């Protein structure tokens, strides 16, 4: 199966893990973006990581992860609900060449935000970017935030994004003092082409064929973000007639691009005339 995340557990070792494979969903996320190959690689690895983390959400909510840096890739954003519905975006300079992740991102910070109905304000965690790869950035984050040793193995291409995650639990060493070192070493043999090309079952069998692995049901990931022109119209109303018509006079047409959902909205003069003719009263602010 593709476009899924599947958890697994080494029962005898108290080590948990998960595999994510994004194929059609990833290609849909990239449609029309025109990102250069180094950006696709970074964004794909980060998307796979976000799905692995969002799969652990215990209640309705939305996990948003941002990598913001001083390098030629200045911003990566992944937004994922507890149902694993994905959105993403990137900001980058022109003419980017392949380079290590740390060189592309530069100095910056990792921000994780969790928005749930139970919280009045989103929970937010901000840490410096530490690590030479996307995997190392998140391994260091989990070591700081959860005090748990974890490993990520990630791969991405224009056709797909994938990841393997393993995590040592507090009781692992009690079960088998050599267990974590063994599983970590086996996981580290995985190749990018295997992450992107093998099924979950084949991948786990190839890596851990001598271990007892309990595999759970796969969960689907999606990119189901239909256009929402009503929301955009409300935004224009909130800006006000004067500002909207000034923008229209300057540009001839109003174009709004929702980068996260990858939708573009265009409003000609007749659209704006109709919009404001229906709302003569002072528009209310959008929340």
Eight-class DSSP state of 60: S
Token output for 77: 């954003």
Domains annotated on the chain, with CATH: 4-220 (3.55.30.10), 229-277 (3.90.1280.10)
Residues 159-213 pLDDT 10s:
999 999 999 999 999 999 999 999 999 999 999 999 999 999 999 999 999 999 9
Residues 69-102 pLDDT 10s:
999 999 999 999 999 999 999 999 998 988 888 8
What pLDDT was estimated at residue 279?
58
Quick check: helix, strand or coil at residue 66? strand
What pLDDT was estimated at residue 116?
87
What pLDDT was estimated at residue 13?
95
What pLDDT was estimated at residue 122?
83
What pLDDT was estimated at residue 18?
98
What pLDDT was estimated at residue 285?
34
Whether pTM exceeds 0.85? yes
What pLDDT was estimated at residue 286?
38
CA nearest to 92, candidates 75, 108, 78, 80: 75
Percent of the chain that is helix, strand, coil (3-state, to 5): 35, 30, 35
For residue 164, list its beta bridge partners: 19, 153
> Does the pLDDT at position 136 exceed 90?
yes
Q: CA angle 193-196-198, nearest 5°? A: 90
* Total H helices, total E strands in the chain: 11, 13
What pLDDT was estimated at residue 284?
40
Angstrom distance (rounded) from CA 40 to CA 219: 24
CA 124 to chain centre: 16
Mean model confidence pLDDT for the chain: 91
Token output for 135: 């995997």
Judge residue 156's burial from the number of C-beta atoms within 10 Å of its C-beta, 0-12 exposed, 13-18 middle, 19 or more buried: buried
CA dihedral in degrees (183, 148, 126, 161; nearest 10)? 20
């Amino acid at each position: 199966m593709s476009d899924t995340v599947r958890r697994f557990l080494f029962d005898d070792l108290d080590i948990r893990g998960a595999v994510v494979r994004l194929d059609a969903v990833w290609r849909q996320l990239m449609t029309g973006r025109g990102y250069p190959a180094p950006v696709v690689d970074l964004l794909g690895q980060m998307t796979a990581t976000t799905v692995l983390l969002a799969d652990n959400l215990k209640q309705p909510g939305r996990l948003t992860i941002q990598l913001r840096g001083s390098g030629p890739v200045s911003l990566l954003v992944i937004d994922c609900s507890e149902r694993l519905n994905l959105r993403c975006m990137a900001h980058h300079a022109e003419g980017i060449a392949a380079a290590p992740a740390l060189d592309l991102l530069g100095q910056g910070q990792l921000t994780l935000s969790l928005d749930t109905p139970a919280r009045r304000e989103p929970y937010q965690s901000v840490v410096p970017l530490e690590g030479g790869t996307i995997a190392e950035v998140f391994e260091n984050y989990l070591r700081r935030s959860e005090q748990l040793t974890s490993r990520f193995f990630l791969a991405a291409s224009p056709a797909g994004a994938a990841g393997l995650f393993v995590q040592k639990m507090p009781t692992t060493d009690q079960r088998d003092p050599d267990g974590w070192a063994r599983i970590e070493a086996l996981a580290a043999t995985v190749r990018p082409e295997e992450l992107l090309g093998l099924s979950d079952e084949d991948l786990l069998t190839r890596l851990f064929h001598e271990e007892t692995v309990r595999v759970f049901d796969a969960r689907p990931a999606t990119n189901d973000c239909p256009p929402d022109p009503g929301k955009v119209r409300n935004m224009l109303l909130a800006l006000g007639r004067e500002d909207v018509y000034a923008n229209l006079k300057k540009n001839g047409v109003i174009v709004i691009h929702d980068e996260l959902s990858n939708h573009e909205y265009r409003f000609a003069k007749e659209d704006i005339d109709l919009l404001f003719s229906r709302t003569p009263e002072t528009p209310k602010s959008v929340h």
